Amino acid sequence: MVQPAKPLAGVKVLELGTLIAGPFCTRILAEFGAEVIKVESPDGGDPLRQWRKLHEGTSLWWSVQARNKRSFTANLKDPDGLAAVRKLAAEADIVVENFRPGVLEKLGLGWDVLSAANPGLVMVRLSGFGQTGPYKDRPGFGAIGESMGGLRYITGFPDRPPVRTGISIGDSIAALWAAIGALMALRHREVNGGAGQVVDVALYEAVFAMMESMVPEFDVAGFVRERTGNVMPGITPSNTHTTRDGRHIIIGGNGDAIFKRLMNAIGRADLADDASLGNNAGRDARADELYAAIDAWVREHDGDAVLAAMEAAQVPASAVLSVADMFKDAQFIARDMFEQVNLPGGQPMKIPGIVPKLSDTPGSTEWLGPKLGEHTDEILASLGYAPQEIAALREKGAV
């Protein structure tokens, strides 16, 4: 059976990013069929190659973050290296970059230059604070975006300083907005007959856009959302509870009908039938009482029994899973959320499955993160460089 083309087959993407935000954006595009050429410095390449746990000198993270990408090395300080990158940009549908604003302009790779040679180009620009405004020249990582965008302020417990999530969530959120923006701009060009355009993603704005009702609640009611620990603020009951055997279980009983089922499941028919608890406002006013009741019941049972009771009562619940738990979880396995691959030396390794799942044109892993400059020669040849020209570029350190 012939597999249908992936949805982004034929789309050419040039990646000028490093680390997380830009490369995660292009990873998504590559997983669904885009040809992604990642430009790296010949001197070590993307620093992510050396981040966190290494296998034979290369990051395991790199295997996933750069899957399906082609690695092209170019010295952006060399005129010939820059010329090769300009040729690639002239053929690209999308350029993704996450330099500080102004860096590409100094290199002669700014929007004015690239779009003049390629009027249909979509240029995705990720930065800490965006391409305009008084903060645009400041450096900004995901942690800074999370702090300025409001996420850090509300994360943690009220009696302690703000805490971070366990991953660089600000970078990843920005990458998702960048991928969405790139595809919207591409559709405008292809369906509406529009020209190329710039997609400007600021990390702090990407986080800020996820902050639910924070803005109108402050503007209209003067309400400032604060840290509330594991409790979902203003929506009751939704909390984390600890079982007799020390497992942590999230229980979300905040729907009116769900709340009744939850209370009956824990033997509190009196609360299930209490008319004053029939809506969220009434439950939120008595949040401490309700959480005490749920806590008392959960700590008298082991985790499996709690989860079984919640499933029987059709109450949303989950254990807080570690990655070790995920490897054994039936839902992860059934949904193919772990792919089996082999590292370059042959060692088997599991990597995350592709998200989202498309019924007819799913994404897939074609290869793991490439070696530094693995595709440089063939890409240069595709641009019309002769073998002796490629050798000369290598000799002078341009690629």
Enzyme catalytic residues = 171
Quick count: other Cβ atoms within 10 Å of Cβ 306? 25
Query: Which one, of 126, 102, 101, 152, lies nearest residue 20 by Cα?
Result: 126
SS (H, E, C) the chain: CCCCCCCCCCCEEEEECCCCHHHHHHHHHHHCCCEEEEEECCCCCCHHHHCCCEECCEEHHHHHHCCCEEEEECCCCCHHHHHHHHHHHHHCCEEEECCCCCHHHHHCCCHHHHHHHCCCCEEEEEECCCCCCCCCCCCCCHHHHHHHCCCHHHCCCCCCCCCCCCCCHHHHHHHHHHHHHHHHHHHHHHHCCCCCCEEEEEHHHHHHCCCCCHHHHHHHHCCCCCCCCCCCCCCCCEEEEECCCCCEEEEECCCHHHHHHHHHHCCCHHHHCCHHHCCHHHHHHCHHHHHHHHHHHHCCCCHHHHHHHHHHCCCCEEECCCHHHHHHCHHHHHCCCEEEEECCCCCEEEEECCCCCCCCCCCCCCCCCCCCCCCHHHHHHHCCCCHHHHHHHHHHCCC
Q: How far apart are CA 235 and CA 216, in angstroms?
A: 17
Please answer whether residues 29 and 186 qualify as being in contact, where contact means their C-beta atoms are separated by less than 8 angstroms. no
> Please, what's the b/e burial string for 259-270 (b: 16 or more CB within 10 A of its CB; e: otherwise)?
bbbbbebbebee
Instruction: Give me Rg for the CA atoms of the chain.
Output: 25
